[in-house]
Amino acid sequence: MGGIFIIGNTLSEKLQCFTSSFLKVKIMKSTQAEIDHFITLLFDPTRHQEALEMAQNNTEYTELAKQIIKSFEKFFMDDFENLIKAEELDLNFAKQNHLPAEFGRLIHLKELNISGSKLTDLPLEVCQLSNLRKLILSSNQLSFLPKEIKQLTHLEILDLSFNLLTELPLELCQLNNLKIIDLSHNQITHLPEEIQQLSSLRELIVEENKISYLSVGLCQLINLEKLDLRSNQLTNLPAQFSQLNNLKELCLYGNKLTDLPLEVCQLSNLQILDLEENQLINLPIEISQLPHLEKFFLSYNNLSILPVEINQLINLKVLSLIGNRFSITDHERLKTSLPNCQIKI
């Protein structure tokens, strides 16, 4: 059975022992404590600047750093027989700008985490891992993905959050086993029509991008259960949006909506609806068509009245109205009409 292999713990500790014992004879002017301190800094991503300053001030440490990097690949290959059996590999914050060619032979890998590694390009070796189910690439500097990404046909979860993407690569739309995609905190301006090919998608997170309109293709994702579009630039929704009738959670927080689109009121399976920090002036009476709604967030809009039809939302448990223009009287009326609901006003 495959196990979990974590670069940065097992391998780094082994390499630290190597450098500490073997390289101490290479630097006669530094004490063992000083060498150990430098090695500790070098393997701590939060203290790389200190290691750099030591290397700049002492050529001995510059040479030591070079030997450590060279040794890293040696130990990587020594551990390869164990690594090749792994099903999960964590390279989180490993600062790996490239991977050995042999990396593509890790055919048993199902989960790979290369987050926080300052990647500007996705190594092609990753695209050879045909059994991957989960790939985490968050907090890098990716502005595009190679076309070879389409080879990951078994991929179910893909995290590309906190990168520099301006569009959804069309090759991703060929990965029809994808269930969850996180594209939050990028610079994406639109989602292509081809996104409709992701028929297995259950969760799409596009928070904190620059999307001003939604494609009709998005509305074809009829199995979608969660859609997070918070902090974009939407002013309306396409008429076909009502086709997303399996949606249970919809977040439109922090957009530019002045009216609640009637298409939202046709999503009869919605349980969570977040419309906070828009520019809503009123709600349509059709809001009553959301019988399963449990949490309704409307804070920080321009609302001063709610339709009486909101009383028909008998499953409502949380209603947030903070930062609007409701009176104490309104609050009391809502408490009476929705006795089982926590109302924040």
What is the structure's pLDDT at 169?
A: 87
Domain check: are 222 and 239 in the same one?
no
Q: Which long-range contacts (CB under 8 A, 24 or more apart) does 102-105 make?
A: 102/77, 103/128, 104/128, 104/129
Answer for the pair 217, 239: CB distance below 8 angstroms, yes or no. Answer: no
Nearest to 303 by CA among 275, 329, 282, 274: 282
Q: Which of 74-83, 305-314, 327-336 has the lowest mean pLDDT?
A: 74-83
DSSP 8-class letter at 212 = -
Strand-pair category, 295-297 with 318-320: parallel
Read off the CATH number of the domain in which 157 is found. 3.80.10.10
What is the structure's pLDDT at 14?
A: 46
Maximum Cα–Cα distance for the chain, whole Å? 83
Domain check: are 58 and 119 in the same one?
no
Tell me, yes or no, whether 36 lies in a domain: yes
Tell me, yes or no, whether 28 lies in a domain: yes
Q: Which residues on neighbouring strands pair with residue 228, listed in sequence order?
A: 205, 251
Structure tokens at 34: 């000083």
Q: 7 in the Ramachandran plot: left (φ > 0), alpha (ψ -120 to 50) or beta?
A: beta
Nearest to 217 by CA among 241, 248, 186: 241
Domain check: are 112 and 220 in the same one?
yes
Answer for the pair 146, 123: CB distance below 8 angstroms, yes or no. Answer: no
Structure tokens at 302: 């321009």
Domain check: are 221 and 239 in the same one?
no
Domain check: are 212 and 261 in the same one?
no
Q: Which of 78-87, 101-110, 192-201, 325-334 has the lowest mean pLDDT?
A: 78-87
Tell me, yes or no, whether 82 lies in a domain: no
DSSP for 93-141 reads T---S---GGGGG-TT--EEE-TTS--SS--GGGGG-TT-SEEE--SS-
Domain check: are 239 and 300 in the same one?
yes
Domain check: are 247 and 275 in the same one?
yes
As a whole number of angstroms, the distance between CA 197 and CA 218 comes to 9
Domain check: are 254 and 160 in the same one?
no
Coil, helix or strand at residue 172: helix
Tell me, yes or no, whether 31 lies in a domain: yes
Domain check: are 98 and 127 in the same one?
yes
As a whole number of angstroms, the distance between CA 185 and CA 255 comes to 15
Domain check: are 264 and 139 in the same one?
no
Tell me, yes or no, whether 67 lies in a domain: yes
**Residue range 255-298, pLDDT digits in tens:** 999 999 999 999 999 999 999 999 999 999 999 999 999 999 99
Coil, helix or strand at residue 182: strand
What is the structure's pLDDT at 60?
A: 66
Q: Is 314 exposed, middle or buried (0-12, 13-18, 19+ CB in 10 A)?
A: exposed
Which of 226, 246, 278 lies at the terminal end of a domain, its last residue?
A: 226
Tell me, yes or no, whether 81 lies in a domain: no
As a whole number of angstroms, the distance between CA 235 and CA 261 comes to 10
In our burial notation (b when 16+ CB lie closer than 10 A, e otherwise), range 12-40 reads beebbebbeeebeeebeebeeeebeebbe
Domains identified in the chain, total number: 3
**Residue range 51-104, pLDDT digits in tens:** 667 666 666 666 666 666 555 555 555 555 666 778 888 877 555 566 667 778
As a whole number of angstroms, the distance between CA 250 and CA 206 comes to 12
Domain check: are 92 and 219 in the same one?
yes
Q: Which of 11-20, 78-87, 134-143, 320-329 has the lowest mean pLDDT?
A: 11-20
As a whole number of angstroms, the distance between CA 277 and CA 38 comes to 49
- Residues 6 or more apart whose CB falls under 8 angstroms from that of 156 comprise 133, 134, 177, 178, 179, 180
Domain that holds residue 309: 234-345
Domain check: are 188 and 294 in the same one?
no
Which of 76, 96, 117 lies at the terminal end of a domain, its last residue?
A: 76
Which of 44, 76, 108 lies at the terminal end of a domain, its last residue?
A: 76
